[in-house]
Amino acid sequence: MRWNELDREACSVARTVSVIGDRWTLLILRDCFLRVRRFDDFQARLGITRHILADRLRKLVDDGILRREAYQDRPKRHEYRLTEKGLDLHPLMMALVHWGNVHMDDGAGRPLLHRHRACGHDFDPVTVCSVCGEPVGARDVHVHPGPGDRGPGLIQNGQ
């Protein structure tokens, strides 16, 4: 498997990883969800080179995850905002946060809390089944080939 072919793998994880499977990209996206929008703000928060930041932002725009929008005319200045496709990464971001909260706690407690506007409470994300609404854990899922399977594929014998 090669990186530049990862987006063509018959696997939705591999395709997603081809777009966001980069550490800086994940941290840029974290900041987007925290409403950071301007190049200099990303740079100050992340402390990465302007070259790497510009490259990652450009890729995110090319992939339709961020859109570049002028917020000032003279001189021309742009900001970066999540598209709907980008906003759909929210469950992924919540899953990253929650696992870190549970398993990478340094004893000081959670750096950030997430309040559900609708009910007004701080919450944890829970993954449930779209059909029955019950929680779904790793042991509750049977994986089987779908129409896009190009077998002999991802699933091992005896799965």
Which residues in the 1-60 window bind its own copies by CB under 8 A? 1-3, 6-8, 10-19, 21-23, 26-27, 30, 33-36, 41, 45-48
- Quick check: 87 and 75 in contact, CB under 8 A? no
Q: Which tokens go with 87?
A: 């906003």
Amino acid at the residue 106: D
Residues 121-140 that bind its own copies (CB under 8 A): 121-134, 136-140
Q: Contacts with its own copies in 73-92 (CB under 8 A)?
A: 82, 85, 87-92
Structure tokens at 42: 């990303």
Closer CB to its own copies, 33 or 78, in the complex: 33
Binding residues for its own copies restricted to 87-116, rule: CB under 8 A: 87-106, 108-116
Q: Which residue lies nearer to its own copies by CB, 77 or 85?
A: 85
Q: Which amino acid would we find at residue 86?
A: G
Dihedral angle at the C-alpha atoms of 127, 129, 134, 135, nearest 10 degrees?
A: -30
- For the bound state, the minimum distance from the C-beta of residue 66 to its own copies, rounded and expressed in Å, comes to 13
State CA 51 to chain mean position distance: 22
CB atoms inside a 10 Å sphere around CB 83: 14
Which of 74/147 has CB closer to its own copies? Answer: 147
CB of 106 to its own copies, least distance (A): 7
